[in-house]
Amino acid sequence: GQQVMQIPQYQHVQEGEDFTTYCNSSTTLSNIQWYKQRPGGHPVFLIQLVKSGEVKKQKRLTFQFGEAKKNSSLHITATQTTDVGTYFCAGRVYGNKLVFGAGTILRVKS
């Protein structure tokens, strides 16, 4: 079945350093979404990418969708302690089913 791989599993950065998490799908996606889950919380939608090669920015967050629509990345510039949490990508091939990656846990040292 469809799989979405996400790396790294865990990243511990110093406040002010950058952070990137990568997703790779076994199949071409119709779109990909990114979610953030704080410890003990629920996934919160960040963004959706639909077009091949699309790049979107939200303040310090930059999201990219690969040309082949099989991979995506989330980059955070100058991390802050409020960025801590687990970042999940979730890909849709067709229909309504979202397949989540395993998530990247981000910890930020102040």
Partner 1 sequence: EPEVTQTPSHQVTQMGQEVILRCVPISNHLYFYWYRQILGQKVEFLVSFYNNEISEKSEIFDDQFSVERPDGSNFTLKIRSTKLEDSAMYFCASKRQGNGEQYFGPGTRLTVT
The 8 Å CB, 24+ separation contacts for 1-4 are 2/26, 2/27, 2/91, 2/93, 2/99, 3/99, 4/89, 4/90, 4/91, 4/99, 4/100, 4/101
Nearer to partner 1, 31 or 73 (CB): 31
**Which of 15, 57 has the CB closer to partner 1?**
57
Least spacing, CB of residue 96 vs partner 1, in Å: 4
**96 vs 110, beta carbon nearer partner 1:** 96
Phi and psi torsions of 95, nearest 5° = 65, -150
The residues of the shown chain that bind partner 1, judged by CB under 8 A, are: 1, 31, 33, 35, 37, 41-45, 48, 50, 88, 90, 95-103
In whole angstroms, the minimum distance from the beta carbon of 107 to partner 1 comes to: 14
Q: How far is the CB of 83 from partner 1 (least distance, A)?
A: 19
Give the pair of three-digit tokens for residue 27.
Answer: 């199949």
